[in-house]
Structure 1
Amino acid sequence: MGAIADAWAWLASADNWTGDGGVWQRLGEHVYLTVVCLAVACLIALPVALWLGHLGRGGALAVNISNVGRAVPTLAVLVLLTLSPLGSYGELPTVIALVLFAVPPLLTNAYVGMREADRDVVEAARGMGMSGWQLLSRVEVPLAFPLIMTGVRSAAVQVVATATLAAIAGGGGLGRIITAGFNTYNTPQVVAGALLVAVLALLVEAVLVLVARVVDPMRRTAPTAAATAPVPTEVAA
């Protein structure tokens, strides 16, 4: 408990929050890196997963290929990219490594969500004459939305935690606080940096849960469907 108390004292010091290299600066860098990597990973993984899930072909192969990335250590990828010519492009190696790390949960959950959509509902919509795009956007994606958001939350939390490795490649983020603490043998600073990363991951998880509830298409359509449903009339005896 002494380490936690010392870390709390470090966090309570205003000097550690302001100025160049302070907590606010590192937190902003960490959030920016997380948002960029998650957005790029979503742009890559979700269209592929949704389309393959809609077609019902090739998805298993794509998921298995993406899962290979889980077997490759992110740190090893980051180091190799940093030592390559890409290392001269600032944060690019870190972004590539984190995107590769975030793609598997996004791709897997979105594809599984599409394939597990209620087939009776899908077939009924197809029987109503919906086009492929209408079926995808109005039926399958809303039904798969919970699993899609589960993948987004999983990827976001993983990126928040793994983005600390950016400090090894000279990048920004909360990892700089942790590495600086290791370099100066400042254990309270190391623990404080780890606590900040943990709290940020929990906040990101909570925000995405709230966003999922607010924008859930099934949540918006359920009251409408209930309101427009015919009211049964009582049959006179």
Structure 2
Amino acid sequence: MKKIFFLFAVFFITPCNSKELHGEALIASFATSILNQEQSVRFNIGLAAAKINGVTVYPGEIFSFNNIVGEASASKGFKTGRVLYEDRVSYEAGGGVCQVSSTLFNAFLLAGCTIIERHRHQFPVSYVPPGLDATIKFGKKDLRIKNPHSCPIIIKSLVNESSLIISIFASENLSEFYEVWTETDELTMPLNNDSDKKIRNAMTIYVYRRTLKEGKTIKTSLLYKDFYPPYYID
């Protein structure tokens, strides 16, 4: 079964994120819900989002999430929260930080930035569609993105009662616009009559980006593909 999901650059107009901000042009914005997150996870999301807020990435420069946010440890003020890493769920300091890296990753994709390093979670997460997450682990897994544009870009973040919103601004208007979408191929798994658990089908996710200029497509690229193995749902 093939599924297609389109990712659009949705612009959220807020006091810290207006269409024009001190002469800067909004080029991409992405939001994820925090409504169902635990209070400690919300706190960590706010703390990590504050660390990336206002960061400028200059032309040709590579942004590193771990370099900016640092280790999400208790000594750095992060609280204990739910963490999905590799094939296990645990509770440790920094739970929720991956929602910030994933939200930022999607904003970067919509801003036409270049992926240098990005890792998926072992299983799909709830806050972004499959294939559009970006897990981090300090000292092991990072999110690194290059600014390919001829002008600096600026990261702006906002956390309210329901959402985390991350926007990318540029010091000047860009002549190109970007669309991102995924295509999903699901491999139906045979039923296990000896188990009461439901099994989640294996999935291969293809992530594409289209570059448009003056309303015309000038480039379409397969950015990467992810494979999620089948797993049991409790």
Larger radius of gyration: 1
Report TM bin, short chain: under 0.3
TM-score with structure 2 length normalisation? 0.26
Structure with the larger strand share? 2
TM-score with structure 1 length normalisation? 0.26
